[in-house]
Amino acid sequence: MIPTFVFVHGSGSSAHGWSATQREMAARGHRTLALDLPGRGAGFTRAYHEQDLETFAAEPSAASGFTADDFTGAVVDAVHRVRHHGPVVLVAHSFGGLPVTAAANAIPELIDRVVYIAAQCPVERHPGEYPALPVWASSALFTATAPLMVGDPARQGFIRVNWRGADRAQRAALRDAISGELTEEEFLQVVVTAQPDEVFWLADPTWDLRADKDSWGRIPHTFVKLTRDRSMPLPAQELYIAEGDALTPDNPFDVRELESSHAGFLRNPAALAGILDDLSVRAAAGSR
């Protein structure tokens, strides 16, 4: 049977981020569904668009009201909805790896493969501890976003980034960190749809969504390394792979590579679609 690919976006993004990938997959004959995780659209207010920064900084955020269970539940619900069509392949990017890992823990019998694209797959520690490790030291993401942070996430209970407030130099730093192969004009299209608000998962103990050997560990899993990633450096990606393989040595990651920045592949998805095309054959064969 033909599988359904369920795409789960990363932080600051939405289902819209997968549009080019879905078009490429459709052209190859695949069925896909891209999710909006809870709170998408939060912060897209008049104050944000008009850069009324005083009002924007004081506005509440819908993202502060959601929990890890809400995010996991959104993925679980999507899998339940499409499972009757056949096999399900979950595809996560970046932060999206957290709710996808939790969903794999919850319903392993309904998932035929999990694909991580430079996505978080915590095994040995809380997800928020990984960015403090030496393997993340070369990440350009945190220094690029720091000038655009609005308020104190620990006090607010959510992360707010004023993407539209970046000047030319700050945009250049962001582009270098996130999608260096894109032109400035292409990167502006990314910025204009970037979500300013995100849940504050880094220090929240309820976001301790580690892969479980007896559930997640039963599912075939693929990790797509992004070799030009300056947000999640290659050593950080390889740490997730090594920890996952140590957890389930009899079911190690199927490792692939894309010559891409952290988000550049979303604009140029042909290579990723080729990988997913191959995995589709495996998922279909496994369901027989």
The proportion of the chain whose per-residue pLDDT surpasses 90, expressed as a percent, equals 89
Burial class (CB in 10 A: 0-12, 13-18, 19+), 152: exposed
pLDDT for 236-269, tens place per residue?
A: 999 999 999 999 999 999 999 999 999 999 999 9
Q: What is the mean pLDDT of the chain?
A: 94
Name the DSSP class of 3: -
Query: What distance in Å separates the CA atoms of residue 179 and residue 262, rounded to the nearest whole number?
Result: 6
Nearest residue to 158 (alpha-carbon basis) of 58, 62, 52: 62
Burial of 80-118, coded b for 16+ CB within 10 Å and e otherwise, reads eebbeeebbbbbbbbbbbbbbbbbbbbbbebbbbbbbbb
Sign, CA torsion 286/266/264/241: negative
List the structure tokens of 82.
């499409």
Q: DSSP assignment, residue 108?
A: G
Better-predicted residue by pLDDT, 96 or 63: 96
d(CA 17, CA 19): 6
- Is the separation of the CB atoms in 197 and 61 below 8 Å? yes
Q: Is the per-residue pLDDT at 287 higher than 60?
A: no
List, in sequence order, every beta strand (DSSP E) within 109-246: 113-117, 158-160, 197-199, 221-226
User: In terms of Cα–Cα distance, which of 149, 139, 130, 148 is closest to 178?
Assistant: 139
Between residues 85 and 287, the one the model is more confident about? 85
How far apart, in whole angstroms, are the C-alpha atoms of residue 47 and residue 196? Answer: 12
* Measured CA angle at 47 (ends 41, 48), to 5 deg: 50
* pLDDT (tens digit per residue) in 49-70: 999 999 999 999 988 889 999 9
* pTM of the complete model: 0.95
- The rounded percent of the chain whose pLDDT value lies above 70 is 98
Q: What is the pLDDT of residue 139?
A: 98
Q: Which of 47-51, 63-67, 99-103, 280-284 has the highest mean pLDDT?
A: 99-103
* pLDDT score recorded for residue 288: 45
pLDDT tens digits, 4-50: 999 999 999 999 999 999 999 999 999 999 999 999 877 789 999 99
pLDDT band at 286 (very low <50, low <70, confident <90, very high): low
Running DSSP on this structure, what letter comes out for residue 213?
Answer: T
Greater model confidence, 238 or 192: 238
| DSSP secondary structure letter of residue 119 | -
Query: Whole-angstrom Cα distance, residue 5 to residue 152?
Result: 37
User: What pLDDT sits at residue 280?
Assistant: 87
User: What pLDDT does residue 97 have?
Assistant: 98
d(C-alpha 53, C-alpha 105), whole Å: 41
Cβ-proximal residues to 241 (8 Å cutoff; 6+ apart), any chain: 223, 225, 253, 255
Q: Domains plus CATH for the chain?
A: 4-286 (3.40.50.1820)
Average pLDDT estimate for 269-286:
85
Dist. CA 105–CA 216, nearest whole Å: 5
**Residue 43 pLDDT:** 76
